[in-house]
């Protein structure tokens, strides 16, 4: 499921590593066809305390970080300041493995591919013998 990204104004940056973002949404009334404005407040994780009140920021959906925090502020360079997902953590663990260790499985695979397949011919011969035996009976 894709993560949602919302844009809003920071209305409070008093807490440590947490900002409150006011997100405004405009929608048309289904009956009266008039545009309505609704606002929602989200608490978002700000790892570096880089946001200040009045700034326009983008927030991205993430795993629950506390009772009310389910969003994280996206940095200006587009990189999310969010703890990585479990699948991303697994990829990061593999990054610490040396290049020699990574090359070993490749070498084993190359050796396995280099071996000629001798098993196919005897199976065919055995199958032919069985079919001849059936025809003779």
The pTM score is 0.55
The pLDDT of residue 133 is: 75
The pLDDT of residue 113 is: 65
The pLDDT of residue 89 is: 53
Q: How far apart are CA 87 and CA 120, in angstroms?
A: 40
Q: Decide: residue 52, CB within 10 A, 0-12 exposed, 13-18 middle, 19+ buried.
A: exposed
The pLDDT of residue 110 is: 64
Q: How far apart are CA 40 and CA 57, in angstroms?
A: 14
Q: pLDDT tens per residue, the chain (137 residues)?
A: 789 999 999 999 999 999 999 999 999 999 999 999 999 999 999 999 999 999 999 999 999 999 999 999 996 544 455 555 555 555 545 555 555 555 556 665 666 666 655 555 566 677 777 777 776 66
The pLDDT of residue 39 is: 97
The pLDDT of residue 114 is: 64
Per the CB < 8 A criterion, the answer to whether 85 and 65 are in contact is no
Domains of the chain: 5-94 (2.40.50.140)
The pLDDT of residue 79 is: 47
Helix H, strand E, coil C: the string for 100-125 is HHHHHHHHHHHHHHHCCCCCHHHHHH
């Amino acid at each position: 499921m894709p993560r949602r990204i919302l844009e809003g104004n920071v209305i409070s940056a008093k807490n440590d590593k947490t900002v409150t973002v006011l997100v405004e949404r405009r929608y048309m009334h289904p009956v009266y066809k008039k545009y309505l404005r609704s606002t929602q407040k989200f608490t978002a994780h700000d790892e570096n305390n880089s946001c200040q009140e009045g700034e326009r920021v983008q927030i991205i959906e993430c795993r629950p970080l506390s009772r009310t925090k389910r969003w994280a502020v996206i940095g200006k360079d587009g990189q999310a300041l969010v703890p990585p997902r479990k699948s991303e953590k697994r990829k990061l663990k593999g990054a610490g493995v040396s290049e020699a260790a990574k090359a070993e499985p490749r070498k084993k695979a190359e050796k396995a591919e280099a071996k000629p397949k001798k098993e196919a011919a005897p199976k065919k011969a055995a199958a032919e013998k069985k079919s001849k035996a059936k025809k003779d009976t």
